[in-house]
Amino acid sequence: FDWPLFWTFLRPQLLALSAAIVLALGAALLNVRIPVLLGQLVNVVARCARGHVPTYLREVRRPALHLLTVYCLQGLLTFGYIALLARVGEQVAGNMRKALFSALLRQEVAFFDATRTGQLVTRLTADIQEFKSSFKLAISQGLRSGTQTAGCFVSLYLLSPKLTGLLLVALPALVGAGAFIGAFLRNLSRQAQEQVAKATVVADEALGNVRTVRAFAMEDQQARLFCVEVDHAGYLSERLGLGIAAFQGLSNLALNGIVLGTIFVGGSLMAGDELSPGDLMSFLVASQTVQRSGQGPIVPPVVRGLSAGARVFELLTLEPSVPLRGGDSIPAHSLRGRICFHKVSFSYPTRPGYPVLQDFSLTLPPYQTVAIVGPSGGGKSTVAALLERFYEPTVGTITLDGRDIASLDPSWLRGQVIGFISQEPVLFGTTIMENIRFGKPEASDAEVYEAARLANADDFIRSFPEGYNTVVGERGTALSGGQKQRIAIARALLKDPTVLILDEATSALDAQAERAVQEALDRAASGRTVLLIAHRLSTIRSAHLIAVLAHGRVVEAGTHEELVRRGGLYAELIRQQ
């Protein structure tokens, strides 16, 4: 658990937290006073047990009213510190959640390759909620318990040093046993929470890809898989529950044994006139307060909360190998868009022993279209990912107008220089206007309309009843494939990129949709450096240069006519189609 990092979230709430602590201390000190007042009341009752009622009422009124006043004041203080802690807890949890989300967005793509989305969502939601609850509990009950324990021990000693000595012999053993069992429960809690996260991942993937599940009639298989994960999570949680139950049961047995011993020894002291009935009552109530403070239900929630907080802070401290911002930029007036890959080799971090590119070299001249073709799995899309700096080359360099892109600001490179259109465009569950404006939030409505017109999207958008305010549904499910692709093209064109990457942008479309999208792409490519990655070779005939990629290398390059005449791998790919 990272305490210094936690302090950065807690520090802005110090004023409210300090007030809550003061109120909690006040409530705790009143709790210390209550057993003494109860003892005084019992002594009055014992003295008047055989007296007349009028005498009893007169003598009992003062201690009873005093006790009632303390109860009311304690209630007010309790309300105050719980309300303040609720505010502090929500502020801390909210800031942690914001910081974690920002930290996750900063991570490189390789991090998301190795980490499942459901686990990250669990960290953002359930783990922070668990930590918040345990934090509030630790402050409210933990602080109160500590104060009550110290104050009650003083009261106990003043009431009866002999009985206090008996209590001091028993309590350390209980505390030691509790610490040992607590460590065991903490480990069980971490396992149970991680298993719940795995079940969440299965559900997230199945529900997020429900069309694929339905298309393959795999509902029962996914349900069984989810049930297996849930059952295992339930098993671990049951083990945790058994551990907590054993802890509480043994605690109750030990504490009740102390009560029995107190009554036995206290009875002997009363027989010898060393202790009054009221003092024995005060001692029993105060000792119960001490015992509840030391062994109460605070332990299991705090154990779970510390485990959850440790997992959250583990992600918060992760630093990406490629920062989002930082580096140089090229002035707009001198930016031409010449891209050079120089002897680049690369392996994905999740598969370090499997090279995807080996000694790859390619130049994209400014304002020209360069197409990359080749067999599936040859590394075509990897070239685009490296140019976007989603990953860093293992060996070699990539330059933009002679500048190594590793020295350039990634945010500037992706946000202003490069436009990316993929085979499967991703739209957000908001309006068409907001989806197009995603790449340039400050764009005016007129700029959005112009980008849509260039992308052959304006006509079909205006045909919707809500026009540009039409909500596209989660991941754009309310639109056809061609419509989604044209909106993605408009989104890329809105920021007027110098370099445009088209990663098999028409391969998933039917003939009619492909024609509309291809017209938009041809218009978009005008006056830009274009990297075109294609599976359908019919879409690249007009490219200025075609590079054929196989086994991570460029095996031949030239225009369409030159490569066909050469009769090599490109000509073979043409014949296969």
Per-residue pLDDT tens digits for 443-461:
888 888 888 888 888 888 8
Check residues 150 and 562 and name the one with the higher pLDDT.
Answer: 562
335: confidence class by pLDDT, cuts 50, 70, 90: confident
Q: Is 331 helix (H, G, I), strand (E, B) or coil?
A: coil
Given strand 369-373, what is the order of strands in its sheet? 418-421, 499-503, 529-533, 369-373, 545-550, 553-558
- Each residue's pLDDT tens digit, 152-176: 666 666 666 766 666 666 666 666 7
Q: How confident is residue 295, by pLDDT bands cut at 50, 70 and 90? A: very low
Domain ranges of the chain: 3-316, 332-427+488-576
* For residues 490-495, average pLDDT: 84
Task: Report in angstroms the alpha-carbon separations of 460 from 2, 480, 481, 516.
Answer: 53, 11, 13, 11
Q: What is the pLDDT of residue 419?
A: 85
Higher pLDDT among residues 464 and 301, named by residue: 464
Residues 45-63, mean pLDDT to the nearest whole number = 66
Q: 471 pLDDT exceeds 60?
A: yes
Lowest-confidence segment of 92-96, 322-326, 549-553 by average pLDDT: 322-326
The reply to whether CATH 3.40.50.300 applies to domain 332-427+488-576 is: yes
Pick the more confident residue, 350 or 514: 350
Neighbour tally for 487: CB within 10 Å? 25
Is 3.40.50.150 the CATH number for 3-316?
no
Which of the pair, 74 or 517, is modelled with greater confidence? 74
Position with higher pLDDT, 470 vs 177: 470
Mean pLDDT on 11-16: 86
Those residues with Cβ within 8 angstroms of residue 576's Cβ, 6 or more apart along the chain or in another chain:
none
Percentage of the chain beyond pLDDT 70 is 76
Beta partners for residue 557, in sequence order: 547
Give the pLDDT score at 123: 82
DSSP structure string for 479-528: S-HHHHHHHHHHHHHHT--SEEEEESTTTTS-HHHHHHHHHHHHHHHTTS
Which of 147-156, 249-258, 483-492 has the least mean pLDDT?
A: 147-156
**What is the helix (H) or strand (E) element at residue 556, kind and residue range?**
strand 553-558
* Confidence band, pLDDT 50/70/90 cuts, at residue 564: confident
**C-beta of residue 532 within 8 angstroms of C-beta of residue 371:** yes
Question: What pLDDT shows up at residue 506?
Answer: 63
Taking the C-alpha atoms of residue 305 and residue 92, their distance in angstroms, rounded to an integer, is 14
Of the spans 37-41, 299-303, 435-439, which averages the highest pLDDT? Answer: 435-439
Average pLDDT for 549-574: 84
**What is the distance, to the nearest Å, from the Cα of residue 258 to the centroid of all Cα atoms in its chain?**
45
DSSP code string of 461-480 = HHTSTTGGG-B--GGGTTS-
Could you tell me the two tokens for 73?
Answer: 């004041």
pTM of the model: 0.64
* DSSP annotation of 297: T
pLDDT tens-place string over residues 340-387: 999 899 988 888 878 888 888 888 998 888 888 888 777 888 888 888
Burial class (CB in 10 A: 0-12, 13-18, 19+), 144: buried
Say if CB 200 and CB 118 are below 8 A apart. yes
Radius of gyration of the chain (CA): 35
- Chain length of the chain: 577
Beta bridge partners of 500: 419, 530
Encoded tokens for 470 = 């039409």
Q: How far apart are CA 531 and CA 535, in angstroms?
A: 13
Q: What average pLDDT does the structure give for the chain?
A: 78
